[in-house]
Structure 1
Amino acid sequence: MEPTRTGRGRRRVVPSAALAVAVALLGVTGAGTGYVTAPLSLATWPVSSSASGDTGGEAGVDGADGTAEAAVDHDALLAEAMTAVPVPDGAEVSVAVLDPDSGRAASYGAGPFETASIVKVDVLATLLLRAGDEGRELTGEETAQAAAMIEHSDNDATSALWRTIGGAQGLDAANARFGLRETTAGEDGLWGLTRTTARDQITLLRQVFVAKGSLLDADARAYVRTLMGRIAEGQRWGVSAAADGSAWALKNGWLRRSTTGLWVIDSVGRVTSGGREVLVAVLTRGGATREAGISLAEATARAAVGVVA
């Protein structure tokens, strides 16, 4: 899924979940690059300025039951788990995972990667943040566009909301407030070419799924989660492979680059595994086919969630 051109506009927030618009998906094109396997420490993950020191942590934090957990290098465990994930020649993968309750976190790979359609969660979060600043609710039109954008990955709806939030400048401004320090909005209306890291995507997911430190109010967070739990049939792949049954809320992105013919396949969201709710972000590129990219994303999600859950 990819971008189109932009303009300007604005509006906003917490609508009724009753509105949903089904729209056909568009295919797209755009470039991939080299392969990095070094794990990244989550100790330095950025959080929003209002996060009150709640960083998502690394090993050695207290568990959810208040008992001290032995120091564990979860990055190393994830790197070891990734040795069992078959990565096609020329492909790249990066993943980050966080159990908000226990603070266990891990990351693998580097970036940045193209977002493709996972940027749509960022667009909606930005829309809700701006609406909250303006003290208003989303209009009926914005609500319909948001549902189409998240549930059906509709590109026209995304382009309309991209203009509403002020395009690249608006997204970058909101991301600075959210604490996304490794994400740059796509220029010239090409929102699908926004570049990000798996770590930044976990920071964004925290805004949606974790109350503490979030700049979004409870209604706004619930609205985004609801839409991410209603993904259309045929788009429920990716991080959902690591979930127990249907216990997931996600957004996927897929983009065939015109310069290489290779695929960007990304998947982000929350899954419940073994009774624990886990945030996970998987970014891939360089797959020869869409199916190969999806298989890599799903195997990576299972490996990562297994390390913390």
Structure 2
Amino acid sequence: MKSLSTTSTQTLLGYGLAALAAIGFSAKTILVKLAYVQAVDAVTLLALRMAFSVPFFLIVAFQQRGPAARPSLTARDYWVVGVLGLLGYYLSSLLDFTGLQYISAGLERLILFLYPTLVLAMSALWLKKPFGFRELTAVLLSYSGIALVFVGELDGGGDTLWLGAAYVFAGTVSYALYLLGAGQAIARLGAMRFTAYAMLVACAASILQFVLTHPPEALLLPMPVYQLSLAMAIVSTVLPVFMLSAAIRRIGSGHASLVGTIGPVSTLLMAAVFLGEPMTLWQVGGAALVLMGVLSLSVR
């Protein structure tokens, strides 16, 4: 009985950690939108978020070194980690931050949530993975949901709506490419080790871009920008990464992925509470379609 009780507790803990990780990742969108009220640009905001994240990932990377770290990194491993870090954590974040200047938090999160359908399409195209009726239905449901939300926001958005959506979708494509290539690297190096190294690459790229494109005076920002950037680093970057890893150890990646579908819903709720964004029937209906599409893939 004790063993069964312990197992149940660990399972519940796993689901709780997965839910908190999904909410933490989603909170990033809200924090970015709040920071933009202070007249800060995307490059500066991303650099600050990454700079505050560096110490945490340095600690993890240091713990993953030494004789116990197996296998040792080869030249190819360094190259793979570098490219995937730039694709998955630097470029996708930069495009996402840029797009958030033009569109609502709810629409941004729903577009980002299309990444499983993009991975599916890329796998079918390049890896010759099967693409049948279930996959086609999932894609049609997901993109119909985005279209519904998009139409609902057309009146207030205009050209900037198209521009913002294009930036965020490009970031989603970049993240899907990262996921497509990260599987083998994670299997070889381990999730924590690979994530720490890839994040450090992204941090270096983000900070370097700021240094090359902005004068030092650009750091003379209102205190709320620094507070929100620190919150982004801890609440929406470092903690969710560790919580998701802990959740996967307890309940598996499939169940953790299912719990992650609460992300767009939590974003809609937080956007209504903290940003005053209206929760329209267009958004609710679109979110339902997107979730149905992604869930149909996750359940499989």
Q: TM-score, normalised by structure 1?
A: 0.24
Q: TM-score, normalised by structure 2?
A: 0.25
Give the structure, 1 or 2, with the largest relative contact order (CA under 8 Å, sep 6 or more): 2
Structure with the larger strand share? 1
Structure with the larger helix share? 2
Q: Which has the larger radius of gyration?
A: 2
